[in-house]
Amino acid sequence: MKDDVTRDERVANLKGMGCSRKRVEDARFTQGKGNYVDDIKLDGMLFGDFVRSPYAHARIKNIDASAAMEVPGVLAVLTAADLEPLGLHWMPTLAGDKQMVLADGKVLFQGQEVAFVVAEDRYAAADGIEAVVVEYEELPVIVDPFEALKTDVVLREDTVQDGKPVDGAHGPRKHHNHIFTWEAGDKDPTEEVIANADVVAEETMYYHRTHPCPLETCGCVASMDKVNGKLTLWGTFQAPHAIRTVVSLISGIEEHNIRVISPDIGGGFGNKVGAYPGYVCSVVASIVTAKPVKWIEDRMDNLMTTAFARDYWMKGRISATKEGKITGLHCHVTADHGGFDACADPTKFPAGFMNICTGSYDIPTAFLEVDGVYTNKAPGGVSYRCSFRVTEAVYFIERMIEVLAIELNMDAAELRRINFIKKEQFPYTAALGWEYDSGDYHTAWDKALKTVDYEGLRAEQARRVEDFKAGKTRKLMGIGLSFFTEIVGAGPVKNCDILGLGMFDSCEIRIHPTGSAIARLGTISQGQGHATTFAQILASEIGLPADSITIEEGDTDTAPYGLGTYGSRSTPVAGAATAMAGRKIRAKAQMIAAYLLEVHDDDVEFDVDRFVVKGAPEKFKTMKDIAFAAYNQAIPGIEPGLEAVSYYDPPNMTYPFGAYVCVMDIDVDTGVPDIRRFYALDDCGTRINPMIIEGQVHGGLTEALAVALGQEIAYDDMGNVKTGTLMDFFLPTAWEVPNYETDYTVTPSPHHPIGAKGVGESPHVGGVPCFSNAVQDAFRAFGNRHTNMPHDHWRIWRTANALGLHD
Amino acid sequence: MIPAAFEYYRPKDLAGVLSILEEHGDDARVMAGGHSLIPMMKLRMAEVPHLIDLQDVDGLHGIDISNGQIRLGAMVTQAEIIDHEGLAAVAPILREAALQIADPQVRYMGTIGGNVANGDPGNDMPGLMQCVNATFHLIGPEGERSVPARAFYEAAYMTAREDEEVLTAVTLPVPDGGYAYEKQKRKIGDYATAAAAVQIVKEDGVCKAASIAMTNLSDTPVFSEDACAALLGTALDDAAVKAAVTAMLGDIDPSEDNRGPVAFKKHVAGVILRRAIERAWSRA
C-alpha cells in the first residue's frame, strides 16, 4: 500500500457500512437477466396445474378425469385419493394446523386445489383442467367470522368428535369453527384500570383482508433423480432450509437427499414463506413420472389462493387521565383465518407479535385476547411486509391514540408526546411482555414535527375548515400522524421457532488466497439487496473491499442452515451472524499478521483494511497479504486456510421505530384523495446502505398507500372473490405514488453486533396508519371518529356523505 | 389464464377477412388491439376457434383530415391519436380522452376500432364518439354501410354490427367549440367510475350548441339529449348546469360494482359532468 493513499481513501475503497453502494444485483435485473423459477427449463420437464373449486363450500361427490386423460399431452391427473396412500393428501401448516393438499371430500374456499393435472406443457395442462369433471354439492357458505362462531355449520369435520369440539393446536376450542384463543397481559387489572379511568375511548376497527401480491407469483420445479435418489426443488421460497426440512418430514425422503434452491425471487412480502399444495403435488408428480415437474401460479391463483394478509376485527378500549396520560389498553381480536390456519408465525405465537400493540407508549396495564376463526375463505394470515401481525398491532394503537385524542379533545401529536416511552426507560419492558431494546422517540417526533412545520399545517387546516364551511372550497385537508415501533429480527431461540426449528441464522465465510471472498447465508433476498449490503458488513469487519466479496444464498446444499428472510430478520439475525463470522476471520487474521510481523498477537491492531503494529503504523500487513499467507505459509500453531462460520441466536428482537407525517387534500364530492406531502423519519439503528434504506422506505410506503387506500381481497356472500385480478386489486404504479421525503435518526441496537435493526418493513407498518389517519383527520372537524380501510373513493365519499357534507 | 387452442389468421385485405368470417360464422372473430378479446379468451369466457388478426389488413390504418371531416382507420391506436399533431389541433378532445385510457403500453396496442366495436360499457371511446357525433363504417357480405355512433349501442357487448361485419373506419365532423373529457377512475388501467365527454359552442356568451355523453354509467354509453337541451340558449349559469346534470342523471342507470354503489356513482357522475361542462365552457 502506497503512502499516498490516505486512511479515508482506504475506508472509501472498502465500500463498507454507511456507503450508498450501488446494488450489485441490478446489473442483471435491469437487463432482464435474472434467473427466476419460471426461467428454469430442464430436459423433459412437465407442467402441472390445478383444477380449482368454483365454490367456497361444497362436498365433492365425484371427480371424473377420464376425458382429461384423453387430452393430448396430459399424462396424469392426481386427486386426494392418489395422495392418501402416501399420507400426502393433507399437510401440516406452520401454525400447527393441517391443510388439504388436494380436496379431501370437500372444499372450503373458492379456488381450492381439487386435482393436479400433469402434462407435457402448460397449454396441455390448461386443456386438461377444462376436461376434468367435478360434481359438487353446495354447502352453506360462511364468510363472516362472527357468524362462523354461532352457526351449526361445521367447516372442518376434524374439529368435532362426538358432537363436541376437540382441542386445537393452541388449546381448547370455544366452538367447532373456533381455532384458538391467545392471551397476553393481565385481564382483571386492565378491566379495573379502565373501569376507574377519567376517560375511556372505545372503538372497533376492521383491518381488511389484503394480499402481498409479489410481482412474481409462487411456483416451483421439482426434479426427482431416481438413479441417485436425490430430489432437487427450485422454488419461490423465502425460507429454503425450512422448506427442505418440511419436505423431508412430510415425504420421508432423508434430508441429505433433498436440495432446495431459491433462485432469484421477484418479491415475497410474506406470500412465499409457507408451504403450498403446488409444492407437494409437483414433488409427487416428479416421483410418479420420473421427470421434472414445474408449477407456476397465474395472477388469479396467487391472489385467490396463496396466503393473504390481515382480516382482523379489532375491538379496543383505551383509558387515560383527563390530562391525557394513558393508563390502560384492552384489545380483543377476532381473526379470520379462512379454511385452514396457515399463518406463518413462530409456533408459540398464533397471533404473531400482536402483543406489541401497546406501541411506542408507556402503558402500564394492558390485555390482549385473540380468537382465531375458520371461515370459507382462502387460508393464510401472513405478515405482508411486516413482522408477524405488527401492521395490525401498530394500526390498532395508532388509531386508538387518534380516537382517544378526539375523546380528550386534544392534539394527537401532543397526546403521543406525553405518552412516549422515554429514552431513559430503555430497555423497557412493556405491559404485554416485550423488552424494547432501545429508542429515542421524543427526538424523532420533534424532528419530524419541526420539519413539516406541524403548527403551520394545523393552522392551515383550521383555515381550510373555515373556508369549507363558508362554501369557498370543496376540499378538506388531512394531517396523518403515526409513530410506530416495530418488533423484528425473530428471533431468540428461547421463544421463537417454526415447526421446532429455532429462529437463529447463519453465515459462512471463505477467504480466497488472493484476498477476495465468498460468504453464504441462511437467508434469501427477494429484492432487498442482500448481495450488496451483507458484503458491506463484511467489508467493514474484515477489511476486504465489498466489491471483492460474493454473497450467495438460497442453495441448501451450500448455504449454512438458516430460517430465511421475512419479518425484517435478515439484518438483525443473519447480518449479526455475518459480523460475528467476520470477527472470527479477523481474530485468525490477527494471529497470522502477528506472525508475519514477528510480534506478539496483542501487539497488532486492526485498522480499516490491515493489521498494524501498535505504535508503528508503518509496519503492517494488509488483509490481502494475510489472506495469501493463510494459504501459502506454514504458520506454527495455526491451521492453513481462512474460513469461519457463525450461527447467531439473537439475545432479543430489535425495535426499529419511526415518525411519519402525511398531508392530504380530499375532494369531498368525489372521494378522491391527493397526497400533497409524505415525510418519513426512520430509525433503524446503524445504517448499512443509505440508498438501499431509502429504496426500502419508498417500497414499504407504496405498499402502505395501496393497503390504506384501496387494496383488498373482498368476498361476496357466496364466498366468491370479487378482487381476483389487478383490475380490481389495487397495485399502485408510479402514477398513484406521491413524492416521499425520507429522514432518519440513529439509535443503535445495544445487543446487535453492529447496532443494526432492520428497515424493510418499517415503512409499511408505519405508513398504513399514517395514510389512514390522514383521511380520518380530514373529517375530524366534522365529527368523524373512525372509518374502516380501505379508503377508496367511494368509502371516503360515504364518510363525507354520512357526515352531511353533500347537498 | 391459457386460452383454448385456436387457429390464427393474418389476412392482408378485407376480402380475406370476410371470407374467413363467412366460412366459420360464429366460430370466427376479428381482433384489433386484442385488449378486450385476449383476456376473455385467456379466461376461457370467450371461445374463438378462428381468430383473425386485422393488423396487416390494408386500408384500416391512418388518420385523414380534410374538408371538415376526420377519418380514423379502425386500426388507428390510442397512441397514434395522441401523437397526431393535426388531429390535436382540430379535435383536441380525442387526445384528452385517449391520454386517460389505461397506460402507454395499452395505448400502443389499443385501437379506436376495437374500442368502439366491442361494445364494452367501460370503454371511453364509445361515449366520446357519441359526443362528437361520429359515424362507424362497416363492411360485410352485403357490402358497406354506416351507422351513427349514437345509434350503434344496444346493450353491453351488443351493437348494431352483425357478426359477419367488420368495422373499418370512424368518421366525424371536425368538432366545434370548447371541449372536455373528464374521467374519474380508481387508478391507472381502470375503467371509469364516471366519465363525461362535452363539446360546447359559445356565441356572444350564450350556449349555441352542446353535446354531452357519459361513460360506464349504463350498459351502453349515454348520449344525453336532455342534458344538451338544458344548456342551449343559456349563459351556463348555475341553474342551467344544474338542469343539465339533473337531465343526465335521468338518462343514466349505473350498477353497483367494486367502484362503489349506485348512489355514489350518480353523485360522482353529476360532479364529473359539472366539471366537464365548466372546463368545456372555459375553452369555448
pLDDT digits (tens, 9 = 90+) for B15-51: 999 999 999 999 999 999 999 999 999 999 999 999 9
Whether A722 sits inside 8 A of B189 (CB atoms) is no
First to last CA, chain A: 78
Closest residue of chain A to B4, computed from CA coordinates = A127
Domain range B7-53, its CATH number among 3.10.620.30, 1.20.1540.10, 3.30.43.10, 3.20.20.190:
3.30.43.10
For an interface test with A, the pick among B99, B184, B187 (most A C-beta atoms closer than 10 Å) comes out as B187
Query: Which positions in chain B touch A122 (Cβ < 8 Å)?
Result: 2
- Which is it for strands A293-296 and A46-52: parallel, antiparallel or unpaired? parallel
Helix or strand run (H / E) with residue A777: helix A762-778
Q: Are A294 and A315 in contact (CB under 8 A)?
A: no
pLDDT of residue A1: 47
The verdict on whether A761 is a catalytic residue reads yes
Query: Which positions in chain B touch A127 (Cβ < 8 Å)?
Result: 2, 4-5
Whether B187 sits inside 8 A of A130 (CB atoms) is no
Is residue B14 packed enough to be buried (19+ CB in 10 Å), middle (13-18) or exposed (0-12)?
A: middle
Q: What one-character DSSP code corresponds to residue A560?
A: P
pLDDT of residue A498: 86
Separation in Å, CA of A790 to nearest CA in chain B: 12
Whether A736 sits inside 8 A of B188 (CB atoms) is yes
Beta-strand ranges (E) seen in A654-798 are 657-667, 672-683, 741-744
Distances (CA, A) of A760 to A489, A566, A567: 11, 9, 9
Annotated active-site residue in A218, A386, A496, A684: A386
Q: Is B208 on the interface with A (CB under 8 A)?
A: no
Tell me the per-residue pLDDT of A702-718, one tens digit each, with 9 for 90 and over: 999 999 999 999 999 99
Separation in Å, CA of B257 to nearest CA in chain A: 9
Q: Is B45 on the interface with A (CB under 8 A)?
A: no
The verdict on whether A741 is a catalytic residue reads no
Annotated active-site residue in A99, A216, A761, A770: A761
Whether B187 sits inside 8 A of A733 (CB atoms) is yes
**If you search the block for the grid coordinates 377512475, which residue do you land on?**
B185
Q: Are B214 and B123 in contact (CB under 8 A)?
A: no
C-alpha cell at B281: 365552457
Q: What topology is assigned to B181-283 in CATH?
A: Enolase-like; domain 1 (3.30.390)
Chain B 106-165, residues with CB within 8 Å of chain A CB atoms: none
The verdict on whether A238 is a catalytic residue reads yes
pLDDT of residue B18: 96
Whether A733 sits inside 8 A of B268 (CB atoms) is no
Q: Is B60 on the interface with A (CB under 8 A)?
A: no
Closest residue of chain B to A800, computed from CA coordinates = B264
Query: Which positions in chain A touch B1 (Cβ < 8 Å)?
Result: 298-300
C-alpha cell at A68: 382429461
Tell me the per-residue pLDDT of A336-361, one tens digit each, with 9 for 90 and over: 999 999 998 888 899 999 999 999 99
What number of other Cβ atoms are within 10 A of residue A330's Cβ? 23
Mean pLDDT for the stretch of residues A732-748: 96
What's the CA gap between B31 and B7, in Å, rounded? 13
Q: Does the N-terminal peptide bond of residue A617 adopt cis geometry, omega within 30 degrees of 0?
A: no
Whether B186 sits inside 8 A of A299 (CB atoms) is no
Annotated active-site residue in A238, A461, A528, A590: A238
Tell me the per-residue pLDDT of A682-693, one tens digit each, with 9 for 90 and over: 999 999 999 999
pLDDT of residue A2: 52
Residue A378 confidence (pLDDT) above 90: yes
Handedness of CA B269, A798, A393, A686 (dihedral sign): positive
3-state helix, strand, coil in chain A (%, to 5): 30, 25, 40
Q: Are A544 and A535 in contact (CB under 8 A)?
A: no
Residue A467 confidence (pLDDT) above 90: yes
Q: Counting one residue from A and one from B, how many pairs have CB atoms under 8 Å apart? A: 68
pLDDT of residue A500: 87
What's the CA gap between A745 and A738, in Å, rounded? 23
Separation in Å, CA of A631 to nearest CA in chain B: 56
Helix axes of A690-709 and A762-778: crossing angle, nearest 10 degrees: 40
Of A122, A722, A797, the CB nearest to B258: A722
Query: Which positions in chain A touch B188 (Cβ < 8 Å)?
Result: 733, 735-736
Q: Is B6 on the interface with A (CB under 8 A)?
A: no
Q: Are B16 and A138 in contact (CB under 8 A)?
A: no
Q: What topology is assigned to A308-489+653-802 in CATH?
A: Aldehyde Oxidoreductase; domain 4 (3.30.365)
Of B1, B187, B259, the CB nearest to A736: B187
Closest to A68 measured CA to CA, from A83, A54, A78: A78
Q: What topology is assigned to B63-173 in CATH?
A: 3.30.465
Of B44, B184, B261, the CB nearest to A670: B184
What's the CA gap between B224 and B217, in Å, rounded? 12
Amino acid sitting at position A469: K
Closest to B271 measured CA to CA, from B182, B202, B191, B162: B182
pLDDT in tens, chain B (284 residues): 899 999 999 999 999 999 999 999 999 999 999 999 999 999 999 999 999 999 999 999 999 999 999 999 999 999 999 999 999 999 999 999 999 999 999 999 999 999 999 999 999 999 999 999 999 999 999 999 999 999 999 999 999 999 999 999 999 999 999 999 999 999 999 999 999 999 999 999 999 999 999 999 999 999 999 999 999 999 999 999 999 999 999 999 999 999 999 999 999 999 999 999 999 999 99
Cβ contacts of A96 within 8 Å, gap of 6 or more: A168, A169, A170, A341, A347, A350
Mean pLDDT for the stretch of residues A730-743: 96
Confidence of residue A807 (pLDDT cuts 50, 70, 90): confident
Domain range A7-34+505-648, its CATH number among 3.30.365.10, 3.40.50.970, 1.10.10.350, 3.40.50.300:
3.30.365.10
Q: Phi-psi bin for B236: left (phi > 0), alpha (psi -120 to 50), beta?
A: left
Q: Quick one: three-class SS letters along A686-717?
A: CCCCHHHHHHHHHHHHHHHHHHHHCCCCCECC
For an interface test with B, the pick among A121, A213, A302, A794 (most B C-beta atoms closer than 10 Å) comes out as A794
Whether B4 sits inside 8 A of A714 (CB atoms) is no
Residue A4 confidence (pLDDT) above 80: no
Cβ contacts of A789 within 8 Å, gap of 6 or more: A206, A207, A208, A707, A708, A709, A768, A772
Q: What are the structural domain ranges in chain A? A: 7-34+505-648, 37-141+217-265+272-305, 308-489+653-802
Per-residue b or e along A567-586, where b marks 16 or more CB atoms closer than 10 Å to that residue's CB:
bbbbbbbbbbbbbbbbebbb
Is residue A786 packed enough to be buried (19+ CB in 10 Å), middle (13-18) or exposed (0-12)?
A: middle
Whether B187 sits inside 8 A of A723 (CB atoms) is no
Whether B264 sits inside 8 A of A671 (CB atoms) is yes
Of B187, B268, B271, the CB nearest to A730: B187
Closest to A116 measured CA to CA, from A270, A301, A253: A301
C-alpha cell at A466: 373555515
Of A127, A671, A727, the CB nearest to B4: A127
The SS3 of residue B212 is strand
Mean pLDDT for the stretch of residues A68-75: 98
Closest residue of chain B to A671, computed from CA coordinates = B268
What's the CA gap between B88 and B96, in Å, rounded? 9
Q: Are A237 and A344 in contact (CB under 8 A)?
A: no
Same topology between domain B7-53 and domain B181-283: no
Q: What are the structural domain ranges in chain B? A: 7-53, 63-173, 181-283
Confidence of residue A312 (pLDDT cuts 50, 70, 90): very high
Closest residue of chain A to B260, computed from CA coordinates = A794
Closest to A367 measured CA to CA, from A430, A418, A312: A430
Q: What percent of chain A is predicted at pLDDT more than 90? A: 96
pLDDT of residue A499: 85
Per-residue b or e along A676-694, where b marks 16 or more CB atoms closer than 10 Å to that residue's CB:
ebbbbbbbbbbbbbeebbb
Radius of gyration over every alpha carbon of chain B, rounded to an integer in angstroms: 19
Whether A299 sits inside 8 A of B44 (CB atoms) is no
Q: Are B149 and B135 in contact (CB under 8 A)?
A: yes
What's the CA gap between A685 and A655, in Å, rounded? 9
Whether B187 sits inside 8 A of A710 (CB atoms) is yes
Whether B268 sits inside 8 A of A670 (CB atoms) is yes
Mean pLDDT for the stretch of residues A541-552: 98
Q: Is B242 on the interface with A (CB under 8 A)?
A: no
Distances (CA, A) of A714 to A341, A702, A721, A727: 19, 20, 6, 13
Whether B1 sits inside 8 A of A298 (CB atoms) is yes
Of B1, B191, B260, the CB nearest to A300: B1
C-alpha cell at A409: 379533545
Residue A3 confidence (pLDDT) above 70: no
Residue A674 confidence (pLDDT) above 70: yes
Query: Which positions in chain B touch A119 (Cβ < 8 Å)?
Result: none
Query: Which positions in chain B touch A736 (Cβ < 8 Å)?
Result: 187-188
Phi/psi at A14 (nearest 5 deg)? Answer: -70, -30
Query: Which positions in chain B touch A792 (Cβ < 8 Å)?
Result: 186, 260
Tell me the per-residue pLDDT of A137-181, one tens digit each, with 9 for 90 and over: 999 999 999 999 999 999 999 999 998 999 999 999 999 999 999
pLDDT of residue A54: 98
Closest residue of chain B to A732, computed from CA coordinates = B187
The verdict on whether A385 is a catalytic residue reads yes
Q: What one-character DSSP code corresponds to residue A619?
A: E
Amino acid sitting at position A551: I
For an interface test with A, the pick among B2, B36, B184, B259 (most A C-beta atoms closer than 10 Å) comes out as B2
For an interface test with A, the pick among B264, B265, B266, B274 (most A C-beta atoms closer than 10 Å) comes out as B264
Task: Tell me the CATH architecture of domain A37-141+217-265+272-305.
Answer: Alpha-Beta Complex (3.90)
CA A234 vs. chain centroid, Å, equals 21
C-alpha cell at A512: 480466497
Tell me the per-residue pLDDT of A551-605, one tens digit each, with 9 for 90 and over: 999 999 999 999 999 888 999 999 999 999 999 999 999 999 999 999 999 999 9
Query: Which positions in chain B touch A733 (Cβ < 8 Å)?
Result: 103, 187-189
What number of other Cβ atoms are within 10 A of residue B28's Cβ? 21
What's the CA gap between A769 and A764, in Å, rounded? 9
Tell me the per-residue pLDDT of A792-804, one tens digit each, with 9 for 90 and over: 999 999 999 999 9
Separation in Å, CA of B263 to nearest CA in chain A: 10
First to last CA, chain B: 47
Whether B2 sits inside 8 A of A126 (CB atoms) is yes
What's the CA gap between A765 and A395, in Å, rounded? 8
The pLDDT mean for chain A works out to 96
Is residue A519 packed enough to be buried (19+ CB in 10 Å), middle (13-18) or exposed (0-12)?
A: buried
What's the CA gap between A105 and B168, in Å, rounded? 54
